[in-house]
């Protein structure tokens, strides 16, 4: 039956069975962040809309079409954060973090909001993790951010990752390249989609990002920015690539990668999973350098670089890939079936003993029949079931049933925890 109320379009519950994937992702991100000396930061979910319209850029899809923006009772125009980089730079400036030893290295994980058309891997509330290194212009930090991003995905079991990198120059070389690009696209205006005809006026670089087939065709022979980088950007990009070579990261150059946010300068990159499903989802992660963002938001000159990964997309691919055999150590491998009041009462102590030994045990207190409890254990794919009935409770033992073989044996109550510990270790 369809319920009267449903979650909003593009928003979904993270159900108990999915929490385990979130935990895994969180752990992988935190592990990499700690290793590289990044500290956790949480910024509010709401920010003044201007943080994004100025920071990310009014002409971007994110700000132009996708922000949840409203006026508060006090009259402030605020937005649900669509991304994390601009708020972190706002916080860096507000909290005088330029006084700290540089770079200030921060990581985060939380919900973000974009009013997008829902499709595979695209939600209106989604979760991102991110790394941001603020106050460092050396290209080695670009390399480190790519490495860390790659490490997280590797840690989560991704094998067929594609890292695409490009440089989109800076305020010295990009205006000139924009002119060249505009004249190229203008002469082919009628072959572009209507959105790109508009982009031609506002930001021709964005045309390179268009997924429409007709625009892709025009793009295929468009001029490439790496041929027009100024000396400084060229040298920076060369060094970034040298770092990536040194790290032996399997990257490819994508001269048309521009990313959908205006704050980028120099290095940009994305990581995709190359399976069919991975490609349908879009990028798992994206990032780059944003040397001008601090000034745009009213701070002093602060070179910076970072990345953010989409946890919902990552989890969806992990779920797809994960086989039944890869049960997490946190998931119970033992089920305690209890029958009758005395056994239920006595089993509380048994649970405590298992908890003391840090061995998770599943149960279904509300189900009375043994059959129903075995069925639950089966559904949970648990191999070992401890049966604790009236007779067992009175005589001080439990019956262990191996669900794989169907065999049973009795174990004395005071030996249960030790014996089960040995069994699940195997
Ligand atoms: P972004 O490319 O807009 O970059 O988002 C980063 C990642 O978030 C994407 O690769 C994707 O996995 C995920 N993502 C984005 N939109 C959605 C959505 N609607 N549904 C599900 N997942 C989504 C940024 O946000 C930049 N702040 C990254 C950055 C950090 N650059 C420098 N530092």
C-alpha of residue 286 to centroid of ligand 1, in Å = 6
Atom of ligand 1 nearest to the CA of 260: 3
Identify the residues whose C-beta falls under 6 Å from ligand 1: 83-85, 114, 116, 121-123, 126, 128, 130, 132, 260-261, 283-288, 290, 306-310, 312-313
Report the separation in Å between the CA atom of 126 and the middle of ligand 1, taken as the mean of its atom positions. Answer: 9
What pLDDT sits at residue 325? 39
The residue whose C-alpha atom lies closest to atom 30 belonging to ligand 1 is: 307
Cα–ligand 1 centroid distance for 123 (angstroms): 11
**What is the C-alpha to C-alpha distance for residues 313 and 291, in angstroms, rounded to an integer?**
28
Q: What is the pLDDT along the chain (426 residues), one digit of tens a residue?
A: 678 999 999 999 999 989 999 999 999 999 999 999 999 999 999 999 999 999 999 988 899 999 999 999 999 999 999 999 999 999 999 999 999 999 999 999 999 999 999 888 999 999 999 999 999 999 999 999 999 999 999 999 999 999 999 999 999 999 999 999 999 999 999 999 998 998 898 889 989 988 889 999 999 999 999 999 999 999 999 999 999 999 999 999 999 999 989 999 999 999 999 988 888 888 999 999 999 999 999 999 999 999 999 999 999 999 988 743 355 556 789 999 988 888 888 887 888 888 888 899 998 877 678 888 998 899 888 999 999 998 999 999 999 999 999 999 999 999 999 999 998 877
Atom number, ligand 1, closest to the C-alpha of residue 308: 28
The closest-lying atom of ligand 1 relative to the alpha carbon of residue 114 is 19
Atom of ligand 1 nearest to the CA of 124: 19
Centre of ligand 1 from the C-alpha of residue 301, in Å: 25
How far is residue 242's CA from residue 249's CA, in Å, rounded to a whole number?
A: 10
Quote the strand ranges of 194-284, DSSP E: 251-253, 265-273
Half-sphere exposure of 289 (CA within 13 A, CB side): 27
Whose Cα sits closest to atom 31 in ligand 1?
A: 287
Please name the residue ranges forming H helices in 132-228: 139-155, 174-186, 194-202, 213-219
What is the whole-number distance in angstroms between the Cα of residue 221 and the centre of ligand 1? 28
Q: What separation in Å is there between the alpha carbon of 260 and the centre of ligand 1?
A: 9
For ligand 1, the distance from its centroid to the CA atom of residue 82, given in whole angstroms, is 9
Considering Cα of 327, then 331, then 333, then 336, what sign does the dihedral take?
negative
Distance 139 CA to ligand 1 centre (A): 22
Q: How far is the CA of 272 from the centre of ligand 1 (A)?
A: 12
Of 154, 157, 163, 165, the C-alpha closest to 250 is 163
Q: Report the relative pairing of strands 334-338 and 361-363 from DSSP bridges.
A: parallel
DSSP annotation of 1: -
Regarding pTM above 0.95, the answer is no
What local confidence, expressed as pLDDT, does residue 342 receive? 86
Largest Cα–Cα distance in the chain? 90
Residue nearest to atom 13 of ligand 1 (CA): 310
Q: Which atom of ligand 1 is nearest to the CA of 116?
A: 19
Q: Which of 313, 314, 315 to mutate to test the pocket of ligand 1 (most atoms within 8 A of CB)?
A: 313
* Among protein residues, the one whose CA lies closest to atom 15 of ligand 1: 310
């Amino acid at each position: 039956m369809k319920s009267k109320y449903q979650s909003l379009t593009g928003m979904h519950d993270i159900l108990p069975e999915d929490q385990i994937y979130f935990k895994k992702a969180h752990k992988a991100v935190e592990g990499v962040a700690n290793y590289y000396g990044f500290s956790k930061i949480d910024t509010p979910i709401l920010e003044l809309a201007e943080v994004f319209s100025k920071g990310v850029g009014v002409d971007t899809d994110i700000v132009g079409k996708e922000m949840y923006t409203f006026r508060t009772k006090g009259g402030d125009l605020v937005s649900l954060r669509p991304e994390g980089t601009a708020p972190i730079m706002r916080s860096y400036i507000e909290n005088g973090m330029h006084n700290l030893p540089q770079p200030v290295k921060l990581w985060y994980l939380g919900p973000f909001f974009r009013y997008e058309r829902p499709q595979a891997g695209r939600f209106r509330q989604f979760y991102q993790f991110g790394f941001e290194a603020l106050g460092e212009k050396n290209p080695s930090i670009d390399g480190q951010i790519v490495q860390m991003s790659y490490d997280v995905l590797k840690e989560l079991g991704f094998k067929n990752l594609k890292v695409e990198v490009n440089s989109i120059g800076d305020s010295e070389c990009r205006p000139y390249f924009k002119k060249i690009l505009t004249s190229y696209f203008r002469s082919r205006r009628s072959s572009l989609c209507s959105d790109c005809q508009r982009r031609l006026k506002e930001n021709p670089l964005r045309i390179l990002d268009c997924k429409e087939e007709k625009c892709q065709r025009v793009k295929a022979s468009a001029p490439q920015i790496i041929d027009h980088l100024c000396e400084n950007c060229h040298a920076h990009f060369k060094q970034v690539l040298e770092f990536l070579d040194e790290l032996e990261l399997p990257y490819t150059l994508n001269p048309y990668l521009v990313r959908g946010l205006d704050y980028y300068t120099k290095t940009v990159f994305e990581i995709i999973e190359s399976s069919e499903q991975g490609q349908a989802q879009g990028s798992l992660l994206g990032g780059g350098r944003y040397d001008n963002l601090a000034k745009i938001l009213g701070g002093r000159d602060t070179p910076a670089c970072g990345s953010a990964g989409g946890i919902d997309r990552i989890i969806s691919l992990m779920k797809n890939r994960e086989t039944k055999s890869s049960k997490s150590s946190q998931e119970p491998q033992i089920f305690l079936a209890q029958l009758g009041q005395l056994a239920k009462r006595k089993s509380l102590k048994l649970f405590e003993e298992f908890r003391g030994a840090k061995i998770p045990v599943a149960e279904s207190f509300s189900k009375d029949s043994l059959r129903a409890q075995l069925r639950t254990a089966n559904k949970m794919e648990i191999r070992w079931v401890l049966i604790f009935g009236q007779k067992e409770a009175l005589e001080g033992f439990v019956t262990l049933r191996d669900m794989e073989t169907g065999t049973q044996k009795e174990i004395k109550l005071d030996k249960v925890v030790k014996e089960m510990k040995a069994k699940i270790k195997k």
